[in-house]
Structure formats: C-alpha cells, structure tokens
Amino acid sequence: MKLQVLQENLAKALLNASRFANQRAQLPVLGNIKLSTKKTKLQIASTNLEVSISISVGAQIEKEGEITIPAKVITELVSNLMPGTINIEAEKEQLKISSSGFSSTVSGMNTSDFPSIPQSIDAKTSIVLPKKEFLDALAQVSFATSVDESRPILTGVLFIFQKDTLILVATDGFRLSQKKIKIANLPKLDQVVLPRSPLGELSRLSEEAEEILFNLKKTDNQITFGINDTILSSRILEGEYPNFEKIIPKESTIKVEVDKDELLRAVKLASVFARDSANIVKLNINKGSVDVSAESSNAGNQKTKIDAKVTGEKFEIDYNYRFLEDFLHIVKGETVSMEFSSPTAPGVFGDPSDTNLLHLIMPVRIQS
C-alpha cells in the first residue's frame, strides 16, 4: 500500500474511528484501526463488535493494500503533524508515515483477524431521514433510556415505523419519552431497538451532512447509517420491548399549563433541599397556581409559588426532581402542560407547541 493524503482529512477521520476501537478487547486487532485502499479512497475502519465505523477519505493511491494499526498510536501521530500532504506506505506489518521534516515506522498487524464490517450503504433501499428533525427527536427521547444493564432492552431507543411516521420511544421504567416524526413514503418495517451509544454519535458525525441514510437488515441483526462518506453500523438489541402504550393514561382529571422557565426555576430551587431527601419535590396544584416545595431534615425547606392555568380540583403529587428537570430541558416551547389522574398514576407532560412529543413520569410513592 502506498498513497498520499491530506493531514487535515486523515486526522479527523482517525479521531472519529478511534472512539470505536476497543483497547481492552480479548482480540488485539479490535484495538486497531484498519487502513485499506479502494480506487481513489482511503478507507478507515474500526469496531468494538457492537458498533463499527468506516470512513472514506480522498487520497492519491499509488499502490493498493491494507493493514491494521494501533488506534491510539496512529491517531496521536497524525493529529500532531503539520497540515499538508502525508506519505503513507505499508509493507508486510509495518506502516511508514512521512511528511515535511518527519518520518515514522509503526508496527501493525495484518487484517486477517479484523471483522468484516459494512463499508457502504445502498441509497436505493435506504430510508432518508431528515437530519435536523431526526436528531432533535433523538435528543428528546434518548435521555430517558435506562443505564441498568440488567434489562438491556431498556438501554436502547425503540424505532416504530408506521405509514409516513417514525415513532421514537425510550423508557427506564420510571419515565417514558415518545416523539413522532413525519417522513414521506416511509416503508413499513418491523420495529427495532437500537443502542443509545451509536445513536449519540450521529450528531457529531453529521455536522456537515444534510441528510442521514438508514438501512435495516433484520436478518443480520444490524442497522446501518450513512452520513456523507461515513458508514456507522450497530447491532440491534434483542428482546421484547415492554408494551408502553398500556401505561399511557387515557384520561385525566387535572390539567395544568405553566410557564416552562418559571417551573424550571422552581424545581431548581427545590432541588437544593430535595437532594437531602431522596430527590423528592412536591407539586401542590391549586386554583390558578402550582406550589413546588421540598424539605430536608438537615437543611430546611422551601416553597415556590408560580401562576398556572388549572382545570380540576386541588391535587398533590411527588416527583424525583431530576426527572422534571430532564423533561423541562427538552421542551422547545415557552409553556409546558401537565395532566394528572391520581397520585399513583404517571403524570403526562407535554409541550403545547409540539403535539408530537409525549412524556410520562412516574410519581414517587412515599411510605406513610
């Protein structure tokens, strides 16, 4: 393998690829980045067996070939070189890198043990996702995924494909977030659950992209995203996602609409004391107002009263303040809606300016 490539392009690609190399894997080659040539492109690939990435970088290829190089070594070397043309040459298991005033030989490994990963995506059979709407929707649900590995299916985001609508759902068992996106000519596919980690990479990888391609291969238990010259693949989480629809309250007796910023400020004030008492804040719904309060046996107590539009009787309910804060941070509108049916049923939270967003939070049950 022999080629010339721009340092700026190679450094960026290596930085992205290095995040998916696994230095602690039992298979040493997984700690490496694979370099290979294809016509006028240098392919940079890495994988941790659950997520893989392949990036194409324009290069002047003199001789084709392939090699794997320790991810940390090659990334740090190239990142610290001056901008300009880099010469790369591989012979057997050695990679020679040179540029103006610099030369280095790095020990690598052959590619025989490197897993086969997707390096292209079929645009004809892929779904075109509108970048901004899709990434915004992901941000509004993915925070609600679980971090508890004992229930792996809840650590991912559920994708439901309906006619002209993609529904994203995430829950950790204590809260649930759902967002619907309109996508024209969306084919009806089986629903899938995708890990949160690779989904979080899409925002970083698609900074310069206008759209994101999505391809589902259920038989391979794999999904592939195409972002310009980058292919990101991930395994599908296996298991049955809980029937979340049955926990969505069908009706409510108390409806509240309140200024988002005022409610967020009240929750933050209450959190000062809630942190000493299992993170619990109390919402007291009154005619025309909501009281947000918290108390600590050590630090004291506080109560903030905020004006609100209220329909229904007086009502009291307890929540983990962190869940309220998380929801308020994803609301784009100026007000939020809250609907309640009982102190033990999940509250339904929404953004009146966005009917495609639904959020549920389970109340805290306090032992009397």
CB 366: neighbour CB atoms within 10 A?
A: 11
Measured between its terminal Cα atoms, the distance across the chain in Å is 73
What is the tens place of the pLDDT at every residue in 302-357? 999 999 999 999 999 999 999 999 999 999 999 999 999 999 999 999 999 999 99
Say what the pLDDT of residue 253 is. Answer: 94
Residue 9 DSSP label:
H
Distance CA 274, CA 323 (A): 13
CA dihedral in degrees (238, 240, 242, 244; nearest 10)?
90
Is the confidence at residue 265, as pLDDT, over 60?
yes
Distance CA 211, CA 128 (A): 7
Q: Of the CATH numbers 3.40.50.2300, 2.40.50.1070, 3.10.150.10, 2.60.40.10, which one belongs to the domain with range 123-245? A: 3.10.150.10
The closest of 250, 249, 251, 263 to 336, measured between CA atoms, is 263
What band does 361 get if pLDDT is binned at 50, 70 and 90?
A: very high
Query: Same CATH fold, 123-245 and 2-107?
Result: yes
Residue type, 234: S
The 10 Å CB-count burial string (b at 16+, else e) for 203-227 is eebbeeeeebbbbbeeeeebbbbbb
Say what the pLDDT of residue 189 is. Answer: 82
Residue 233 sits at φ, ψ, to 5 deg, of -120, 150
Is the confidence at residue 362, as pLDDT, over 90?
yes
Q: Facing residues of 182 across strands?
A: 165
CB distance 38 to 102 below 8 Å: no
Parallel, antiparallel, or unpaired for β 102-107 and 127-130?
unpaired
CB distance 49 to 30 below 8 Å: yes
What percent of the chain stands above pLDDT 90? 86
Helices (H), the chain: 7-18, 71-79, 131-141, 196-205, 260-274, 321-330
> Can you give the residue ranges of every domain in the chain?
2-107, 123-245, 248-361
Please give the structure tokens belonging to residue 262: 């005022």
Pick the more confident residue, 24 or 87.
87
The 10 Å CB-count burial string (b at 16+, else e) for 179-201 is bbbebeebeeeeebbbbbbbbeb
Say what the pLDDT of residue 231 is. Answer: 97
Query: Taking residues 128-138, what's their average pLDDT?
Result: 94
What is the tens place of the pLDDT at every residue in 141-194? 999 999 998 899 999 999 999 888 999 999 999 999 999 999 988 887 889 999
Say what the pLDDT of residue 297 is. Answer: 80
For the domain spanning 248-361, the CATH number is 3.10.150.10
71 Cβ contact list (under 8 Å, min separation 6): 14, 17, 18, 21, 23, 31, 32, 33, 46
CB 114: neighbour CB atoms within 10 A?
A: 21
What is the tens place of the pLDDT at every residue in 185-224? 888 788 999 999 999 999 989 988 889 999 988 778 899 9
What band does 82 get if pLDDT is binned at 50, 70 and 90?
A: very high
Burial of 336 (0-12, 13-18, 19+ CB in 10 A): buried
The CATH homologous superfamily of the domain defined by 2-107? DNA Polymerase III, subunit A, domain 2 (3.10.150.10)
The closest of 308, 115, 134 to 211, measured between CA atoms, is 134
Mean pLDDT (the chain, rounded): 94
What band does 277 get if pLDDT is binned at 50, 70 and 90?
A: confident
Say what the pLDDT of residue 356 is. Answer: 97
What band does 367 get if pLDDT is binned at 50, 70 and 90?
A: low
Residues in the chain, overall count: 368
What percent of the chain stands above pLDDT 70? 99
